[in-house]
Structure 1
Amino acid sequence: MPVVWLILIVLAIAVVGYVLGRGRALAGAASEHVKLHSLPSYYGSNVAMKVAVPAFLIMVVWLLAQPIIVNNSVSGLIPETAIAEGSSRGLVLAEVRRAASGLDNAVAAGIMDEDFARNARADFNDITTRLRDAGQIVTSQITQPILRAAQEYRILNSTGRLLMTIAVLLAALAGAAWGILESKPNFRARNTVEQGVKALLIAAASIAILTTVGIVFSLVFNTIEFFRLYPALDFFFGLTWSPTFSGRGGNSELGIIPLLWGTFYISFVALIVAVPIGLFAAVYLSEYAGPKVRAVAKPLLEILAGIPTIVYGLFALLTVGPLLVSIFGPDGVGIMQAGTAVMTAGLVMGIMLIPFVSSLSDDIINAVPQAMRDGSYGLGATKSETVKQVILPAALPGIVGAILLAASRAIGETMIVVLGAGAAARLSLNPFDAMTTVTAKIVSQLTGDADFSSPVALVAFALGMTLFIVTLGLNVVALYIVRKYREQYD
């Protein structure tokens, strides 16, 4: 049964349980609310909670544990002789999963029936041909061990889904029966529901932490797999980025230095644009603009933050790039050959970051107490002197934190770079040269015809892990500066 249908069935049981639990409590009190310990809705909510929470908890745990168990079971079916030189068991398992997915799609499309897909004596050459004819992704010739493992993978997944459905429905029905039996007038339904809601709030607050942990683990395992196939020193200190999609990518040069240079160079240009404009806009809006001007200008400025980055990318490609070529190209200064360059992406990315810097800086400047302004004016300082010598120094830690957060946002940008900066991985100081960044290469490495048993595809995870560490470091430094140097006003 599809997971969506299972969720709907559990929710339906919860609704029915709510009605029955509420009705049983009212019936026990002879429809006199004063005889009930809690409001009738709490009795119904207690039943619904006992239906939904255990059922969904079992479903989530099952969905997380089943892939691990199935992979471990299937891994034992793959002999060492089926693992090619330069590959690993984990990469072979990736091929097994792709073959199993191809079989599922082929059965769903009517290319083959279920009996043929599960037939242990089926010819693997025939199945490879059928999958390719059906448009399914097959990275290489399916071998006999991979086919057998893929068939077992499908069987174990199908059995696991069936057992999960039974377990979830039994838990939902048992929870409904338990909750309905508890629905008596003297039952403290409100206390139980409030404790349950408190537990749900704690679980919701933990999702951010668990998500971060999940992201890290998903990157770490594939990064380790990459460094088993490609030397870490060559990756971190290599000066050439030249992936080769032939074979297992053994002739590729995957040095990250050119990508990091392009990332930091474009981000630097973006910050040169965004920081002065954003900071000046924040000073104007907080210190000089009247209420009417501020009420109009601030929302208009922050509209920039809601524009999708792909639109900024198109703006860079169609407008900013040709404009720069007309000024600095062959007909002008002659130092810019094409519209895709560091300067193009940096300018547009800086425009995108202006509302980010201005909004944070505006909030920080407004947090400076009015008494400091009044004291400065009382000593005879002008408005500009007050801004320069009182307000900005007091707000400086927060402004620095806002700039660092904007820098981490710039480092993680993708679409503007893809459309505005080009795809060349090079070390150059010329801002009118085309360059690329780590994020752009992550996209390109995972959208080509790369084989996931090759370092050319796995390098995307190593790039992602490096980028994650860099942006995390920037965020930590920003938070440290803000907290350490933040002024405390009474």
Structure 2
Amino acid sequence: MASGNGDRRNLHSLPNYYGWNAAMLTAVPALGVLVIWLLAQPMMIDNAVFKTIPDSAIAEGSSRGLVMSDVRRLADGLDVIIQRGVMDAEQVTTLDAGTTDLRATLAAEGVALGSAVEQPVLDAAQMYRAQSSTGRFWMVALVTVIALAGFVLSLRVTNADFRARNMVEKGILTLLILSASIAILTTVGIVLSMLFESINFFRLHSWTDFFFGSTWAPNFRGDSDLSILPLLWGTLYISIIALLVAVPIGLFSAIYLSEYAGPKLRSAAKPLLEILAGIPTIVYGLFALLTVGPALVNIFGRGEQGLLGVEWMSGATSVLTAGLVMGIMLIPFVSSLSDDIINAVPQAMRDGSLGLGATHSETIRQVVLPAALPGIVGAILLAASRAIGETMIVVLGAGAIAKISANPLEAMTTITTRIVSQLTGDTNFASPETLVAFALGLTLFVLTLGLNVIALYIVRKYREQYD
């Protein structure tokens, strides 16, 4: 293509761009179709098989979701016995649940089923296998054809005047745009998934009881009281205590490290402080349950033998226990971010304040902190969001009692803890006791979004003052 003399200056682009263009046209469309197919095929097959299961095949206390789980396990088990030569494909397609002990056959091959195989479930599993096999065949065929078509197209368009570099750069730009859109699309997907399930919940349960009731008492046999207010109270109460611990300590630590500590002390103290952020939350929960809780009981809960001579605390789990430990966990979030933000304040502002006669402490209080306030608010917001979404510390340190009380020495629970509880075990996504988890999650999302809006307002207000 370089006019026979091999001079690459006769090409519009460097040779490697032509190669990258061919690779993009060959791989990208084929991989895109492959990903879409892999995502869509299981849902389409599940819906098709789901409709063939009669109501008589669903045992009392079970659900179609559980039956579909048995169908998928049985279909996988049938593939196993074919691969291992126990039966061939023709024998599997003619199996009869009434004459063959499939459960024993599969158990001998290491595939365990929870119960005996009924004929409708076997028929559904065979249909699932057949459609999956057909889908895989057409997927491979279509992806191969698209890849070959892309390769042929790349050969047809490649010539000395082809703007290969422009095409490759457009492809990279598209990749960057898709990467930047992932966070937005993920957020939209999360919100929509919670929204649709929340709508299903409010069709089964009164929204007035959910938002304005005062009792949380789920009962999977019906007649449940599912009010968010006791959970919301516990969430906010524990988060406020945690922030009262984390914000002052973290902010004062950041001020000391950035304005007073020497280089050697700072290089040692800051990494040690940030180690707190790497400790698993389950470890914090154990620390709350085994150390902080008993210490508070010794102070407030042993009657005349206690340090205060009172008995206000009956157990190691309480709002104060979880709040104190969560506050310790949040210290590095506040201190590290605040330290970086304070260091980002221009040195000229400090020099100007000191040149006008202000002391070091006055400069920090009246110049540095106001200039860094928007970033500090962002650090506090991050800590608040982390506190609201915490689960393990609350499970082990605060208890599981949903109630509204102003006593920080009593056990309470939070929204995240109840979400985990409602979705633990074999769940039926048709009952309000399970669907309430999505309504709780959506409410938690709206609460966090409100905190972000408030913080954005504060940041903009003070940025106008110091720009």
The equivalent residue for 1:97 is 68
Identity %: 63
Q: Deviations over 1:312-354 (max 9, x none)?
A: 2232233322332333331424322222221221111111111
**Cα pair distance change 1:369/1:234, threshold 3 Å:** same
What are the residue-to-residue correspondences of 1:276-315 with 2, within 5 Å? 276-315=248-287
C-alpha distance in 1 between matches for 2:203 and 2:98? 33
The equivalent residue for 1:60 is 35
Task: Name which of 234, 239, 247 aligns with 1:275.
Answer: 247
The CA deviation at 1:406 is 1.4
The equivalent residue for 2:146 is 171
Q: Deviations over 1:108-139 (max 9, x none)?
A: 5649977787669746998899999965568x
The CA deviation at 1:170 is 1.7
C-alpha distance in 2 between matches for 1:297 and 1:29? 67
The equivalent residue for 2:365 is 388
Are 1:44 and 2:25 an aligned pair?
Answer: no
What CA RMSD, in Å, does the superposition of the two structures yield over aligned residues?
3.5
Q: Deviations over 1:350-370 (max 9, x none)?
A: 111111111222233333333
Task: Name which of 231, 244, 253 aligns with 2:225.
Answer: 253
The CA deviation at 1:82 is 9.1
**Cα pair distance change 1:465/1:449, threshold 3 Å:** same
C-alpha distance in 2 between matches for 1:136 and 1:440? 31
**Cα pair distance change 1:268/1:231, threshold 3 Å:** same
C-alpha distance in 1 between matches for 2:388 and 2:182? 25
Are 1:198 and 2:169 an aligned pair?
Answer: no
Could you tell me which amino acid in structure 2 is paired with residue 101 of structure 1? Answer: R
Contact 2:11 2:160 survives alignment (8 Å): yes
Could you tell me which amino acid in structure 2 is paired with residue 194 of structure 1? Answer: E
The equivalent residue for 2:458 is 481
What are the residue-to-residue correspondences of 1:14-413 with 2, within 5 Å? 32-67=7-42, 69-70=44-45, 73-74=48-49, 77=52, 94-107=65-78, 110=81, 122=97, 135-136=112-113, 152-245=127-220, 249-330=221-302, 331-332=305-306, 333=308, 334-413=311-390
Could you tell me which amino acid in structure 2 is paired with residue 374 of structure 1? Answer: D
C-alpha distance in 2 between matches for 1:129 and 1:427? 53
Contact 2:238 2:322 survives alignment (8 Å): yes
The CA deviation at 1:268 is 0.9
The TM-score, its normalising length taken from structure 2, stands at 0.84
Q: Deviations over 1:202-259 (max 9, x none)?
A: 11111111111111122122222222222222222232222234xxx31332222211
C-alpha distance in 2 between matches for 1:262 and 1:153? 46
C-alpha distance in 2 between matches for 1:170 and 1:92? 41
Secondary structure, counterpart of 1:486 in structure 2:
helix
Task: Name which of 394, 401, 425 aligns with 1:448.
Answer: 425
Q: In structure 1, list runs of 5 or more residues that go unmatched.
A: 1-24
Question: Aligned residues, how many?
Answer: 456
Contact 1:234 1:255 survives alignment (8 Å): yes
C-alpha distance in 2 between matches for 1:81 and 1:338? 49
C-alpha distance in 2 between matches for 1:424 and 1:115? 57
The TM-score, its normalising length taken from structure 1, stands at 0.81
C-alpha distance in 1 between matches for 2:442 and 2:56? 32
**Cα pair distance change 1:425/1:78, threshold 3 Å:** same
Could you tell me which amino acid in structure 1 is paired with residue 204 of structure 2? Answer: L
Could you tell me which amino acid in structure 2 is paired with residue 359 of structure 1? Answer: S
Task: Name which of 462, 466, 469 aligns with 2:439.
Answer: 462
Contact 2:58 2:64 survives alignment (8 Å): no
Contact 1:125 1:142 survives alignment (8 Å): no
**Cα pair distance change 1:250/1:272, threshold 3 Å:** same
C-alpha distance in 2 between matches for 1:412 and 1:124? 53
C-alpha distance in 1 between matches for 2:217 and 2:260? 53
Contact 2:97 2:118 survives alignment (8 Å): no
Could you tell me which amino acid in structure 2 is paired with residue 66 of structure 1? Answer: Q
What are the residue-to-residue correspondences of 1:420-431 with 2, within 5 Å? 420-431=397-408
**Cα pair distance change 1:269/1:165, threshold 3 Å:** same
